[in-house]
Amino acid sequence: MNQKERPLVEALQSHMSQEPVSFHVPGHKNGMIGEFAGHFGRWDQTELSGLDDLHAPEGPIAKAQALLAAYAGAFKSYFLVNGSTIGNLAMVMGLCEPGSHLLVAGNAHKSVIHACRLARVKPVFLTPEVHPESMTPSGISPDLLEQAITEFPDAKAVLLTYPSYYGHTGQMKKVIETAKQSGLAVLVDEAHGAHFSLPGFPVSSLHMGADAVVQSAHKTLPALTMGSYLHIGKDFEHDHRIEQLLGMLQSSSPSYPIMASLDDARYYAATYLDEDMVYFKNVRVELVSRLREISRLSVIEPEDPLKLIIRMDGVSGYDLQDACEERGIYAELADPLQVLWMLPLLKAGGRLQTERVIESLHEIAEKAEWTEKAQPAVFREAITTLAVCNADQLPFAVMPVEEADGRIAAETITPYPPGIPMIIAGEKLTLEKLNELNRLVKTNMRFQGGSYLIEGKMKVVQEDINE
């Protein structure tokens, strides 16, 4: 197949070249009505003749998805217009039987937890190894997976996160081999790896034997927000169930701009040349080299070259983030130790504002006051299950965080970004985890959930309160 084609983009271009009269949805009428819609409306179309239908593709959408599958090395690939969240929901709900156990990497995104609830599946959380430099989750170990398989023999699948939010890849190939040897289906949330398998980058889990892989094209490729891919491995037998669920879970009015951007993002990756990689690497090497010359500054380079982790002696990640934002430099996230940058996947001739970045960080290093050294995060025990299912639907009490040791959490509390739950409704709380939560509340970390955290309190299951 010719990877230099963009069938859906070309179909939209052809349609608009007719200067069509719109007597159909959407209401902005090809961008003629409404100031905001005027910027995007020309490609914001509906299922017109020649533009195909995502839920029954036969024309340019079908061809665009076939090109994607050919590029990714998949049996079949799908456009996702509701983000990787929908892919995670479809994988879990399409494969796991109600009441069964699903082995889940402990650094899973909150959408995986939601998928387990909707599928009425019991998640078994496997704590990833901690990367020695960044002090963040990397990937689960093959030995831990083997232990979990022995303890939960009814599990039919494992859901892995690869790479980690911070760009670490762990022992992914060995983990997948271990799962396959035990007959487990391997589902992978590869949200941050849509660019994997390009020259110079880690290999996609799809090429390591994963059965179903979700990628957020909007995170690392030039797709619009919410644009993602779902790939099915060539030997997977349950693709029809996942396809059926995508038809149920995705909007019946999918966004053509998002789908066109997914077609274009595949084209961008498929036409990424060796000379582009050389250019990107040279730009990156120069940036890292100059960053390392700044006093108090250190750089951690994860396995994914698109990620950089920046630390400054005596400055918390949150304060460094704030100082950078005052100068118009915005990071992907901050934690107590560091900030995480996601570099653009530049092609030859692309621009990175290196001078501005270096000048700003020199200034921050000179002016920033020293503070108390931050502590790394606290992680769950190696293998953890929920003590109570659907705990956030039970009667609850509100109590001070520091008094909740041994109680059952009645709410899920998620630092965002990265969207990995710190506390999951139904888990038994430990003093160590509660102290960590209290510490983070005092920083600039943002949370989803935890409506009483501002008061230093949280929800616990009422039946678990001895009054």
Give residue 351's pLDDT.
Answer: 87
Q: For residue range 415-434, what is the model confidence (pLDDT) as tens digits?
A: 888 889 999 999 999 998 99
CA distance 113 to 117: 6
Pairing assessment for the beta strands 185-189 and 212-215 based on DSSP bridges: parallel
CA distance 318 to 340: 11
| Cβ contacts of 128-132, under 8 Å, gap ≥ 24 | 128/161, 128/164, 128/170, 128/379, 129/170, 130/376, 130/379, 131/164, 131/166, 131/168, 131/302
Q: For residue range 355-390, what is the model confidence (pLDDT) as tens digits?
A: 999 999 999 999 998 887 666 665 556 888 998 888
Greater pLDDT, 111 or 442: 111
CA distance 80 to 217: 9
Give, for 95, the enclosing helix (H) or strand (E).
helix 83-95
Name, of 169-173, 325-329, 330-334, 374-378, the range with top average pLDDT.
Answer: 169-173
- Under a CB-based contact definition with an 8 Å cutoff, are residues 376 and 335 in contact? no
Domain boundary assignment for the chain: 7-270, 274-367, 386-464
The correct answer on CATH 3.40.140.10 for the domain covering 386-464 is: no
Beta bridge mates, 77? 231
In sequence order, the 6+-apart residues with CB closer than 8 A to the CB of 395 are 461, 462, 463
CATH topology assigned to domain 7-270: Aspartate Aminotransferase; domain 2 (3.40.640)
Q: For residue range 12-46, what is the model confidence (pLDDT) as tens digits?
A: 899 989 888 777 767 777 777 566 666 677 888 99
Residue 314 class from Cβ within 10 Å (0-12 exposed, 13-18 middle, 19+ buried)?
middle
CA angle 376, 378, 379 (to 5 degrees): 130
The CATH number of 274-367 is 3.90.1150.150
Give residue 439's pLDDT.
Answer: 85
Give residue 41's pLDDT.
Answer: 78
Q: What 3-state DSSP class applies to 85?
A: helix
pTM: predicted TM-score of the whole model, two decimal places: 0.91
Give residue 466's pLDDT.
Answer: 47
What percent of the chain shows pLDDT beyond 70? 95
Residue 467 has pLDDT above 50, yes or no: no
Nearest by Cα to 145 from 112, 167, 170, 163: 170
